[in-house]
């Protein structure tokens, strides 16, 4: 009421909050599974492999959609989109608004809850390495942005990543219901490329040009100044940008390889269909009006057609 703004820092008490919201995430996961996904699975009669992938994509669609809406609301209300200079001004961003801190704690809780869910969902051993790698990458990104005081940049990057992932898992759900419908995969491909370009541009803008303009501050753990002096070191800055570019290049290479494989499979399927259609016998030509009776062609009135003889003049 008096206009005071309360800001927050991170600390050991965050672990208790994260533990509480891990339990909340497990409950919400079970609710979505039982009341939404299981009912759809009973109607589709999917195989075991598709059943597992359908459940995974269904849970992630709900999570990514919620996170995109929530993250977009945070970055708009905090002014991170209208004024991009806020992404690096006054770094390090030690003190956080409540909604920013709460968003990061909920993100950490969700990805930590995904570890016991691998056991509850009885994920196959073949799928475990992929899912563990995905969870580890998200935890490293969210925790790194939270602990290194790069929360503003992390919010924008999460928004772009979750937007692309939402379209991908939505396309998988549509594909499981109708295998001939792959239009959403094309939409996901466009969104994926656009978000990768924005992600790389943001890294170069913030780390390459924004953070070096910040005043150099000495190492001060009490105030949260751990890495501010490193971004003024050109060797450290270029090393970070090189790692980012290499990682984005590897992601794009995997994406291009996936798209080429999809097009090759589609072209093979279409060519096989054409060859199968060419082998079918040609359809019989439609005869003149009339019908057959005992091997004799009858006219429509039941009389056999006869040629008229011309009378001589």
- Give the predicted TM-score (pTM) of the model: 0.80
The pLDDT value recorded for residue 42 is 85
Instruction: Give pLDDT, residue 170.
Output: 93
Report residue 135: phi and psi, to 5°. -65, -40
Give the whole-angstrom CA distance, residue 63 versus residue 24: 13
- Domain residue ranges of the chain, discontinuous segments joined by +: 7-275
What is the per-residue pLDDT for 223?
Answer: 64
The CA-CA-CA angle for residues 174, 31, 74, to 5°, reads: 75
- Which residues in the chain show pLDDT less than 70? 1-3, 215-232, 278-313
Predicted pLDDT of residue 87: 85
Q: How many CB atoms lie within 10 A of CB 225?
A: 17
pLDDT (0 to 100) of residue 83: 84
Report pLDDT for 292: 47
Spatial contact of 21 and 106, defined as CB atoms under 8 Å apart: yes
pLDDT at site 211: 76
Cis peptide before 92 (omega within 30 of 0): yes
The pLDDT value given to residue 100: 94
**Residue 41 near residue 51, CB atoms below 8 Å:** yes
From residue 25, give the alpha-carbon distance in Å to each of 7, 29, 63, 108, 155.
25, 6, 10, 11, 20
């Amino acid at each position: 009421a008096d206009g005071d703004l309360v800001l927050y820092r991170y600390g050991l008490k965050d672990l208790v909050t994260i533990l509480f919201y891990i339990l909340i995430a497990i409950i919400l996961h079970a609710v979505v599974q039982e009341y939404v996904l299981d009912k759809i699975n009973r109607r589709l009669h999917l195989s075991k492999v598709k059943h597992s992938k359908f459940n995974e994509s269904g849970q992630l669609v709900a999570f990514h959609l919620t996170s995109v809406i929530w993250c977009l609301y945070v970055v708009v209300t905090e002014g991170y989109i209208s004024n991009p200079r806020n992404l690096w001004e006054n770094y390090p961003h030690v003190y956080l608004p409540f909604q920013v801190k709460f968003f990061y704690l909920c993100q950490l809780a969700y990805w930590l809850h995904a570890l016991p869910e691998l056991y509850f969902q009885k994920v196959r051993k073949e799928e475990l390495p992929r899912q563990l790698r995905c969870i580890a990458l998200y935890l490293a990104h969210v925790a790194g942005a939270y602990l290194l005081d790069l929360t503003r940049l992390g919010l924008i990057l999460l928004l772009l990543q979750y937007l692309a992932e939402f379209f991908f898992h939505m396309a998988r759900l549509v594909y499981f219901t109708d295998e001939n419908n792959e239009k959403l995969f094309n939409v996901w491909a466009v969104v994926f490329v656009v978000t990768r370009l924005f992600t790389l541009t943001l890294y170069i803008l913030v780390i390459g040009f924004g953070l070096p303009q910040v005043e150099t501050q000495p190492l001060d753990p009490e105030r949260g100044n751990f890495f501010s002096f490193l971004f003024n070191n050109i060797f450290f800055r270029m090393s970070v940008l090189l790692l980012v570019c290499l990682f984005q290049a590897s992601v794009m290479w995997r994406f291009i390889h996936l798209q080429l494989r999809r097009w090759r499979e589609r072209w093979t399927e279409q060519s096989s269909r054409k060859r199968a259609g060419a082998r079918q016998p040609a359809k019989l030509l439609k005869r003149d009006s009339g019908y057959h009776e005992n091997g004799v062609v009858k006219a429509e009135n039941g009389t056999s057609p006869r040629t008229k003889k011309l009378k001589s003049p």
